[in-house]
Every structure is written in C-alpha cells, then in structure tokens.
C-alpha cells in the first residue's frame, strides 16, 4: 500500500480510538433522535394545518446548514493538535524515521481527517435524508450531493487549522480558524441578505460587494451554493465557479505554505 | 555543528561521546533529516541523509523515545513494519521474532501507556531493528534500562554487528561503549575533537572513562 494511503488509514483509525470520537458519536445519535421528532409532529399556522412535506423540507434545509457548520467546528477541533500531538507522543518519528517523505506525512494526515469528517457529515446528512424519506415518502434531491460539496469547506478548515497550529497554540489555531469562518458567515450572510428584494427596497442606492469581501474565503457562500442544489433556487450572489475556485485556491495555497513551513521545521 | 567531517565504514561500530550540549544528538538527528544542515551534506551508502531512500537503510532509536500511548506494543511494531515495506505476513513474523529478541514477549498486547521506561526503550530498540536495516542509529539506547536490560541490549548489538551491519551509537555509558565499539569520536561544542579506533585512544591500564575525563579536564584547564 502506498505510504499516503497508509497514513490516511492510520489517521482515521487513530481518530476512532479517541474518547472524543465516542462523545461525538453519542451527540450525533442524540441529535438525530431529537430531529426525528420534528418530522413526526403536526404543525399548524394561524389555525391551518401545514403540509408535513413542506415542514420536512424546511427543517431538512435548516438541519443541513446546522450539520455543515458544526462539522467545520469539529474539523478544526480534530486538526488543531495533530502535529503537536504527533511530536509529543512519538507518532511523528514512526513515520519520518522510515521511508516516508514529509509531504506524504502532512498530506496523509490531512487527507485522513478530511475523509473522516466528510464521512461523518455525509452519514448525518444521509440520516436526515432517510428520515424524510421514511416519514414523508419524498426524496430531497440534491441533499447528498450538497453534503459532499460542503466537504471542500471542511478541507479549508482543516488545512487552515493545521497551518496555524505550526505557529500558534492549538486552541488559538482553532479559534483563529473559526474566527475566519465566522467572518465569512457574517459578511457573506449579510451581503446575501442585502440582495433580497425586501432589503433592497428598504436600502436605497447600489449595494456593491467590497473588494476584501470578494477575496475573503467564501466558506459561507460555498455552503449557500451547495444548499441551492437542495432548494433549486438560482445562486446569483456570485459565480459558483469563483466561489468553488476561491475555496480550492485558499486550501491549496495554505497547504503549500504548510508544507513549506513543515519542511523547514525541526522534527 | 561546526566543520564536522567523518566517515563510518560498513560494519563499523561507531560511538559518539561528549558532554551534554556537545551536539551528539543534533548530529544523530541530522542523519535522519530531523534537523537540517545549514552547510555541507551527509550521505548514507551514497544517498543523501534525510531523504526517504536513505532512511530505508536506517533503524533509529531516539533519545527519550516515546510510543503513542493509545497503541499496544504489537501495534506500534506493526506500524513500523508497515513503513519498512514488509508484507503483512512477513511483518507479523518479524515482529514476533523482534519481541523475543528484545524480551518483550507477553507484553506486546499492553497499551504503551502501561509500559515502564525500560519497556518503552526495549520496544523502541525492537522497532529500530525491524526491516533488517543496514545502519542502526541509537541515541542513548540503554537509558532507563536495568542492568539486565543493558546486558540484553549489548547482546543484541553484538549480534547485529556480527551480521556485518553498521552501528552509530550515542551514549553516556562509557563502560558499555568500551565493550562494544570499534571507533570512538569525542565531540565538544559542535566539533569532533578526537576520532580514532578504541585501541588507539585507550592505552593499557586505563579505561575509556579515564580517557574521557582526562580530555574534559584538559579542555577545562
């Protein structure tokens, strides 16, 4: 087996040994059980019964965003101590004293966490998808594709946290990453809200996105773009190619910077 | 490091001695590419040290060796074996043999967090021996071992040497170095001050310890 694949597999196995994994698993199960209840109730607005399919669809969209955003937090938490933990407990020496190149080690570790978090996110989305199918008999088209698309955001969060953890204490690296993601959510979320007809009518004048906002990592926009696969609404905030390219570019550039710094560091 | 230049021949048992901070560990780490050379180069069997190709030929035991606490001894060795390029069946066979050789048979299923320092050190030595490396680089291999453990390590290293393999040993235990080594280098402040065969350095009616302390006294005076 190739070193890269082997390190990724080891990373996934190592993650599954952590106590935090079982805590996460328990939380996910509880979350799914609680959400399941939302699909089984009868809802009425102003005394009129609301169609259960409509409720299921809106809840599922909300849950889609909640899971995708929570996984960003989890991805940052899992990757924040990866290098320092490996350095402290001797795991890094196992790889790098053997015929493993540093880039294989870094890429293998990141790929492992990426696959791990993407799988968990996909399973959670799949559970929602199946609950809707079982309760309403309807399939939410694009739900699972949207979930897979959001994995690019996870990659960005993982690479950024790993990069920052080379210079900052682990917790600070995760907080910094979440800060950047938070700014992306706030700025692009506000921008998206301003594009709505209602707000446009309230605010007179043209509303242009400022330059820094265009260049800033498009985490929220990418997640919003993925959700348009579920809603089938047009994504008219920005070019989808730009949004996708922005996340891929930042992930690639950060990975290159991470490798550059890692190659210059002492083991 | 400052102007360090030396060659270790194939099959030679080479020991690095020196006071704390002399640069022995740094030099050993450079062999693995863990620390970078700002100038010059190190080659292992013609291959640039630190590259993955040259590390294929090296078995390494680090100073203050650690095993990830969530791994059992067997898992730790299997992980090493996998990166030595051994197939699963061959790895299992070799890990079994290694466990026997380092006296850890029966403890391989315990988690590393339950190991004593000596047990961790034995496992580390076992990992270094996996894959039948051409060169064994050992940084304080007997640190934390009891007298039986020290003797066991000596026996293992003697066996390894008999098979024509090369050993670079960094140790403070001068009596063991004297029993095992062919060539000794004494380092100080990043330089190799003395490098010669043991028989040339240690004269009749004296020990390596005498030579080492005489050297330090000369330096201090």
A4 and chain B in contact, CB less than 8 A: no
Give residue A205's pLDDT band: very low, low, confident or very high (50, 70, 90): low
Query: Has residue B27 been placed in a domain?
Result: yes
CATH code, domain carrying B173: 3.40.50.300
Boundary of a domain, candidates B97, B132, B167? B132
For residues B96 and B50, state if they share a domain. Answer: no
Do B83 and A96 count as a contact with CB atoms less than 8 A apart? no
For residues B73 and B97, state if they share a domain. Answer: yes
User: Of A208-217, A255-264, B130-139, where does mean pLDDT reach its minimum?
Assistant: A208-217
Give residue A1's pLDDT band: very low, low, confident or very high (50, 70, 90): low
Query: Tens digits of per-residue pLDDT, B199-214?
Result: 888 888 888 888 888 8
d(CA B99, CA B78): 11
For residues B40 and B139, state if they share a domain. Answer: yes
User: Quick count: other Cβ atoms within 10 Å of Cβ B209?
Assistant: 14
The whole-number pLDDT of residue A147 equals: 94
Give residue A200's pLDDT band: very low, low, confident or very high (50, 70, 90): low
Give residue A207's pLDDT band: very low, low, confident or very high (50, 70, 90): low
pLDDT of A121 over the 70 cut: yes
pLDDT of A208 over the 70 cut: no
Percentage of residues of chain B with pLDDT beyond 70:
100
Contact by Cβ (8 Å): B186, B179: no
The whole-number pLDDT of residue B157 equals: 87
- Mean pLDDT for the stretch of residues B18-22: 86
Cα–Cα nearest to A246, from A235, A238, A256: A238
Q: Which domain holds residue B190?
A: 1-57+134-221
Boundary of a domain, candidates B132, B149, B165? B132
Give residue B103's pLDDT band: very low, low, confident or very high (50, 70, 90): confident
For residues B213 and B150, state if they share a domain. Answer: yes
For residues B50 and B114, state if they share a domain. Answer: no
A93 and chain B in contact, CB less than 8 A: yes
- Mean pLDDT for the stretch of residues A229-252: 87
Contact by Cβ (8 Å): A184, A217: yes
Burial A50-72 (b: 16+ CB within 10 A, else e): eebeebbbebbbebbbebbbbbb
pLDDT of B51 over the 80 cut: yes
- Mean pLDDT for the stretch of residues B150-164: 86
Question: Where in chain B does DSSP place strands (E)?
Answer: 13-17, 43-44, 47-48, 58-61, 135-139, 166-170, 183-188, 191-197
Name the residue facing B68 among A91, A97, A264 (closest C-beta).
A91
The residue to which tokens 């004269």 are assigned: B203
Residues 13-42 in A contacting B (C-alpha not used; CB under 8 Å) = 14, 17-18
The encoded tokens of residue A84 equal 């320092």
Beta bridge partners of B194: B186
Boundary of a domain, candidates B103, B132, B161? B132
pLDDT of A39 over the 80 cut: no
Do B83 and A267 count as a contact with CB atoms less than 8 A apart? no
pLDDT of A71 over the 90 cut: yes
For residues B141 and B53, state if they share a domain. Answer: yes
For residues B154 and B53, state if they share a domain. Answer: yes
pLDDT of A98 over the 80 cut: yes
Q: What distance in Å separates residue A71's CA from the closest CA in chain B?
A: 25
The whole-number pLDDT of residue B59 equals: 92
For residues B53 and B107, state if they share a domain. Answer: no
B32 and chain A in contact, CB less than 8 A: yes
For residues B53 and B139, state if they share a domain. Answer: yes
The encoded tokens of residue A197 equal 């007809």
The residue to which tokens 């290098």 are assigned: A83
ipTM: 0.88
Q: Write out chain A residues lying below 8 Å of B83, CB-based.
A: 3, 6, 94-95, 98-100
The encoded tokens of residue A260 equal 């550059």
**How many domains is chain B partitioned into structurally?**
2
For residues B52 and B9, state if they share a domain. Answer: yes
Q: Which domain holds residue A255?
A: 3-264
Query: Tens digits of per-residue pLDDT, B106-128?
Result: 888 999 999 988 889 889 999 99
Q: Is the pTM of this model over 0.95?
A: no
Name the residue facing B70 among A6, A17, A100 (closest C-beta).
A17
A10 and chain B in contact, CB less than 8 A: yes
For residues B139 and B219, state if they share a domain. Answer: yes
The encoded tokens of residue A131 equal 């609950």
Instruction: Please provide the average confidence, as pLDDT, over all residues in chain A.
Output: 88
Q: Which among A229-243, B8-22, B205-219 has the top mean pLDDT?
A: B8-22
Long-range contacts of A74-77 (CB under 8 A, 24+ apart): A74/A24, A74/A117, A74/A120, A75/A113, A75/A114, A75/A117, A75/A154, A75/A157, A75/A158, A75/A161, A76/A157, A76/A158, A76/A161, A76/A173, A76/A174, A76/A177, A76/A178, A76/A181, A77/A20, A77/A174
For residues B78 and B96, state if they share a domain. Answer: yes
Query: Has residue B87 been placed in a domain?
Result: yes
User: Quick count: other Cβ atoms within 10 Å of Cβ B7?
Assistant: 9
- Mean pLDDT for the stretch of residues A31-43: 80
Query: Has residue B84 been placed in a domain?
Result: yes
Do A14 and B84 count as a contact with CB atoms less than 8 A apart? no
Query: Has residue B63 been placed in a domain?
Result: no
Q: Write out chain B residues lying below 8 Å of A11, CB-based.
A: none
pLDDT of A136 over the 90 cut: no
pLDDT of A68 over the 70 cut: yes
**How many domains is chain A partitioned into structurally?**
1
């Amino acid at each position: 087996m190739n070193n890269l694949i082997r390190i990724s597999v080891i990373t996934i196995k190592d993650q599954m040994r952590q106590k935090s994994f079982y805590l996460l698993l328990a939380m996910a199960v509880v979350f799914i059980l609680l959400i399941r209840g939302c699909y089984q109730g009868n809802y009425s607005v102003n005394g009129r019964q609301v169609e259960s399919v409509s409720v299921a669809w809106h809840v599922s969209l909300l849950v889609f965003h909640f899971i995708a955003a929570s996984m960003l937090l989890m991805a940052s938490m899992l990757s924040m101590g990866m290098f320092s933990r490996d350095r402290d407990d001797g795991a890094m020496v196992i790889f790098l004293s053997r015929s493993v190149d540093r880039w294989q080690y870094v890429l293998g570790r990141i790929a492992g966490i990426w696959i791990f978090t993407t799988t968990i996110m996909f399973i959670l989305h799949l559970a929602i998808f199946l609950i809707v199918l079982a309760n309403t008999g309807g399939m939410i088209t694009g739900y699972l594709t949207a979930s897979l698309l959001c994995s690019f955001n996870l990659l960005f969060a993982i690479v950024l946290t790993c990069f920052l953890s080379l210079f900052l204490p682990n917790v600070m690296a995760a907080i910094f990453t979440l800060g950047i993601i938070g700014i992306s959510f706030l700025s692009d979320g506000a921008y998206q809200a301003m594009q709505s007809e209602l707000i446009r009518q309230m605010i007179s004048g043209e509303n242009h996105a400022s330059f820094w906002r265009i260049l800033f990592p498009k985490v929220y926009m990418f997640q919003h773009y993925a959700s348009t696969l579920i809603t089938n609404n047009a994504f008219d905030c920005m070019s989808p190619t730009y949004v996708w390219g922005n996340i891929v570019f930042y992930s690639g550039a950060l990975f290159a910077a991470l490798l550059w710094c890692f190659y210059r560091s002492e083991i | 490091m400052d102007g360090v230049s030396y060659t270790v021949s194939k099959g030679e048992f080479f020991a690095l001695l020196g006071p704390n901070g002399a640069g022995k560990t740094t030099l050993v780490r450079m062999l693995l590419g863990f620390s970078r050379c700002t100038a010059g180069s190190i080659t292992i069997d013609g291959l640039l040290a630190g590259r993955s190709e040259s590390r294929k030929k090296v078995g390494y035991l680090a100073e203050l060796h650690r095993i990830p606490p969530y791994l059992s001894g067997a898992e730790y060795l299997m992980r090493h074996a996998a990166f030595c390029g051994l197939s699963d069946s061959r790895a299992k066979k070799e890990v079994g043999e290694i466990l026997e050789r380092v006296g850890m048979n029966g403890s391989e299923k315990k988690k590393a967090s339950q190991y004593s320092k000596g047990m961790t050190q034995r496992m580390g030595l076992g990992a270094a021996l996996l894959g039948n490396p051409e060169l064994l680089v050992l940084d304080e291999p007997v640190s934390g071992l009891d007298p039986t453990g020290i003797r066991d390590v000596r026996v293992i290293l003697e066996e390894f040497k008999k098979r024509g393999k090369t050993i670079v040993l960094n140790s403070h235990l001068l009596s063991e170095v004297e029993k095992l080594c062919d060539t000794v280098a004494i380092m100080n402040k990043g330089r190799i001050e003395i490098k010669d065969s043991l028989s040339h350095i240690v004269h009749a009616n004296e020990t390596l310890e005498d030579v080492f302390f005489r050297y330090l006294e000369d330096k201090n005076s």
